[in-house]
Amino acid sequence: MKRFLISYAIALSSWLFLSPVAWSQKPYEEDTFTMALTGDSIITMRLSVYREPEFLKMIELIRSADVAFTNLEMLFHDYEPYPMHESGGTYMRAAPAMAKELAWAGFDMVSRANNHTGDYGVIGMRLTTKHTAEAGLVQAGVGESLAEAREAKFLETAKARVALISCASYFKEHSRAGKSRGDIPARPGLNPLRYSTVYVVTHEELEMLRRILERAGLQPPKSGNKLKFFDHDFVVGDKPEARTTLHQEDLEEIANVVRNASRLADLTIVTIHAHEGDGNRSVPAKFLVTFARAMIDAGADVFVGHGPHVLRGIEIYRGKPIFYSLGNFIYQNQTLLRLPYENYERYKLGSNAHVADFNDARYDFGRKGRPVTPEIWESVIAVPCWREKKLIEIKLYPVSLGFGKFRTKRGRPMFADRDLSIKIIEDLKRLSKPFGTTIDLREGIGVVRLSTGATN
């Protein structure tokens, strides 16, 4: 009955709805398969109570896809676990009922590996697994051991079986799953993709670091072209840059999971939570480009990135789409019910402070840039379409998360208006150009050209 009432409301209001994506709900042919792909979902408030046409149309798009995915950057529990000594930033937690709100919105699959997986330890991770499963959502990226965290999870639909592999390159070390030699239990946690970074500097800069270390009494090598400075490696080179290298064992193990999954499923999604950028959070770090292409080589049909809280470019590699970041989909990180002592302590807030005081201390005056940066609150729903195993279309539906609105309104997605849609697609065109990808703007929707931009 609820779904019928929503459909009726959409039909009744559609003649008033002038969004550029209002025309887009065209049925796909029976022999095609579509995905609705989104970025980070930090959900703390119900979705099912809202009735704006722009919102309901967006929900209908998600529901109309054959499979819908989002990154679950939230923990579900009733404060049974205690917080760990450090978190992924804000200690994330929402009421368990929020898992069902994601299912109501039409999502089928969620990734769990991200920098908030371990905010409330193993108990918080396990409770989230329980509540997410009870909502009927397929989840990947965490487990009782590294092998379990790495493995693909599967969704059966009437048209295809879909595999999901979830990993993270940005995480707190205590949340990384581990292996066992059989004598002690494995460590529960998330599926990690580790990497190393070497910073290339000039000879003069390296000598400056050497003098700093000497003055601090840390006894660096007296000579040479390499230095370690507070766990960071520096080398002398011609051009200043950050060189990132993938952890080979992680790369090989995840690739093997993808090879297996691609032979057990019709379509395979690999997704990563990665904050790391290449001098700009809108540009993926070089190791992410290497990893994404390696996953396609291993058999993935689509690669989905999230984590930097902004959009990144799109690449078509060997005929398969790589979305380096789909930004935020739900971003309700300022309406949490409680926060632990550590969050308040960081901003020197006393025992009389509450969540709103923490928000003011953290975000006012542009701190961290998040409330005052428009791109944080702009996103797309990517809808790739396949016929058999051949990618035939990618549409990009612009989404607004309410930049400039009050905390209780900001962070909930709905289709963007015409002007903002144009701006979002123009940004994606600019970010995707270095990857050889061309995006056309058609009636407020981005359409990726598949005849150009492929990398062999």
Does the domain formed by 34-194+247-377+402-415 have CATH 2.60.40? no
Encode pLDDT of 99-118 as tens digits. 999 999 999 999 999 999 99
- Per-position DSSP letters for 42-69, written without gaps between them: E--S-STT---HHHHHHHHHHHHSSEEE
Query: How confident is the model at residue 181, as a pLDDT?
Result: 94
Phi-psi region of 238 (alpha: psi -120 to 50; beta: other; left: phi over 0): alpha
**Taking 70 as the threshold, does the pLDDT of residue 454 lie above it?**
no
Query: How confident is the model at residue 371, as a pLDDT?
Result: 66
Q: Do the Cβ atoms of 233 and 220 come closer than 8 Å?
A: no
DSSP 8-state symbol, 74: -
Contacts of 451-454 with C-beta under 8 Å, sequence gap 24+, read: 453/315, 453/316, 454/316, 454/317, 454/318, 454/319
Query: CB-based burial of residue 380 (10 Å sphere; 0-12 exposed, 13-18 middle, 19+ buried)?
Result: buried
Q: Do the Cβ atoms of 41 and 330 come closer than 8 Å?
A: yes
Q: Do the Cβ atoms of 298 and 252 come closer than 8 Å?
A: no
DSSP strand pairing (189-190 vs 226-229): unpaired
Closest CA to 274 of 252, 316, 305, 242: 305
CA distance 92 to 448: 35
- Per-domain residue ranges of the chain: 34-194+247-377+402-415, 196-240
DSSP 8-state symbol, 76: B
**Taking 60 as the threshold, does the pLDDT of residue 343 lie above it?**
yes
245: enclosing H helix or E strand = strand 241-246
Q: Give me the mean pLDDT over the 340-366 stretch.
A: 87
Q: What is this structure's pTM?
A: 0.91
Beta carbons within 10 angstroms of residue 30's beta carbon: 7
Cα within 13 Å of Cα(43), Cβ side? 25
Counting residues of the chain whose pLDDT is more than 90, the rounded percentage is: 79
- Please provide the average confidence, as pLDDT, over all residues in the chain: 91
Query: CB-based burial of residue 355 (10 Å sphere; 0-12 exposed, 13-18 middle, 19+ buried)?
Result: middle
CA distance 278 to 72: 25
Give the position of tokens 């993935």: 300
CA distance 428 to 367: 26
CA distance 359 to 346: 12
Q: Do the Cβ atoms of 321 and 384 come closer than 8 Å?
A: yes
3-state secondary structure of 71: strand
Encode pLDDT of 408-450 as tens digits. 999 999 999 999 999 999 999 999 999 999 999 999 999 999 9
Closest CA to 7 of 66, 69, 51: 51
CA distance 80 to 77: 7
Query: How confident is the model at residue 393, as a pLDDT?
Result: 98
Closest CA to 165 of 58, 354, 294: 294
**Taking 60 as the threshold, does the pLDDT of residue 7 lie above it?**
no
Instruction: Quickly state the pLDDT bin for 231 (edges 50, 70, 90).
Output: confident
Torsions phi, psi of 52, nearest 5?
-60, 140
**Taking 90 as the threshold, does the pLDDT of residue 187 lie above it?**
yes
Encode pLDDT of 13-66 as tens digits. 443 344 544 444 555 678 999 999 999 999 999 999 999 999 999 999 999 999
3-state secondary structure of 276: coil
CA distance 383 to 370: 27
Q: Give me the mean pLDDT over the 243-263 stretch.
A: 97
Query: How confident is the model at residue 2, as a pLDDT?
Result: 42
Instruction: Quickly state the pLDDT bin for 239 (edges 50, 70, 90).
Output: confident
DSSP 8-state symbol, 277: B
Encode pLDDT of 379-394 as tens digits. 999 999 999 889 999 9
Instruction: Quickly state the pLDDT bin for 11 (edges 50, 70, 90).
Output: very low
Distant-in-sequence, close-in-space partners of 317: CB < 8 Å, separation ≥ 6: 292, 293, 296, 454, 455
Query: How confident is the model at residue 26, as a pLDDT?
Result: 54
**Taking 50 as the threshold, does the pLDDT of residue 326 lie above it?**
yes
- The per-residue b/e assignment along 150-170, b for 16 or more CB within 10 angstroms, e otherwise, is bbbbbbeeebbebbbbbbbbb
Query: How confident is the model at residue 230, as a pLDDT?
Result: 76
Torsions phi, psi of 207, nearest 5?
-65, -35
Query: How confident is the model at residue 256, as a pLDDT?
Result: 98
- Per-position DSSP letters for 155-205, written without gaps between them: EE-SS-EEEEEEEESS--GGGB-----SSSPPPPEE-B--EEEEEEE-HHH
Q: Write out the two tokens for 446.
A: 């981005």
Instruction: Quickly state the pLDDT bin for 370 (edges 50, 70, 90).
Output: low
Q: Do the Cβ atoms of 171 and 88 come closer than 8 Å?
A: yes
Query: How confident is the model at residue 400, as a pLDDT?
Result: 98
**Taking 80 as the threshold, does the pLDDT of residue 206 lie above it?**
yes
